[in-house]
Structure 1
């Protein structure tokens, strides 16, 4: 038996439920950029969950900055609870987006995490705002 099939695949109904649940937690950079380019952002807002310095250096256009350690009732008081907040950080190696999304969810907000963070966004060639003189140095900064 091959390594690939050593563990049998799930029943199709179980697999469909699993992958639908996974998609409920993640947003793909390609889908987000399509929405941004179409101006179709009425249902979500991007949230950079690293620190202010990282946000000033490089950010996804239209994102707001709320470092994960500052998420609370006071910092989200004016936020629209009808939106989905798509949190992102530096990369797959950084968990600031997960920390921010968890904190927002505990406050009752609907959330997703942007797959791969700003590094995946940049690697795909999507636009970045800020002091973009040296994007190769994007760091976790959280």
Structure 2
């Protein structure tokens, strides 16, 4: 028996529930890029780590720089309560986006994490913005 089959696969209903939950809280670089390219950004994209200088050097087009440590109820009141936020950080080696997503959820805000972050964006060969 291989390590793959050592544990039985989930039932189809369990798999549906699992992947639906993941898609409720995650998106990916390709989907964010498509929304940007199609002028269909029905979310606010937040770059949630690093300094203003690092953000100016390289960020995803359309993103706002709002480090997770600066997210407060007062600051988030700049947007209507139903606003969907998509957060990203440096990449899989960084938990800043997880921290931001948790904080936004605790503030009662809809949020998704863009898996891959800047590393994923670069791996996809997508262009960065500078300011």
Q: C-alpha separation between the residues in 2 aligned to 1:69 and 1:15? A: 35
How do 1:2-81 and structure 2 match up within 5 A? Answer: 2-41=2-41, 43-51=42-50, 52-81=52-81
Query: Does the residue aligned with 1:74 lie in a helix, a strand or coil?
Result: helix
Q: C-alpha separation between the residues in 1 aligned to 2:122 and 2:2? A: 36
Consecutive unaligned residues of structure 1, counting only runs of 5 or more, are: 132-142
TM-score between both structures, scaled by the size of structure 1: 0.87
Consecutive unaligned residues of structure 2, counting only runs of 5 or more, are: none
Q: C-alpha separation between the residues in 2 aligned to 1:54 and 1:22? A: 30
Q: Alpha carbon RMSD of aligned pairs, Å?
A: 1.2
TM-score between both structures, scaled by the size of structure 2: 0.94
Name the structure 2 match of 1:127. Answer: 127
Deviation at 1:109, TM superposition (A): 0.6
Q: C-alpha separation between the residues in 2 aligned to 1:101 and 1:28? A: 15
Name the structure 2 match of 1:136. Answer: none
Q: C-alpha separation between the residues in 2 aligned to 1:77 and 1:71? A: 10
Deviation at 1:77, TM superposition (A): 2.1
Deviation at 1:114, TM superposition (A): 0.5
Summarize deviations over 1:18-73 as a string: whole Å, max 9, x none.
011011111111111111111111x2111000132221121100001110111102
Name the structure 2 match of 1:89. Answer: 89
Query: Does the residue aligned with 1:75 lie in a helix, a strand or coil?
Result: helix
Q: C-alpha separation between the residues in 1 aligned to 2:32 and 2:15? A: 25
In the alignment of these two chains, the number of paired residues is 130
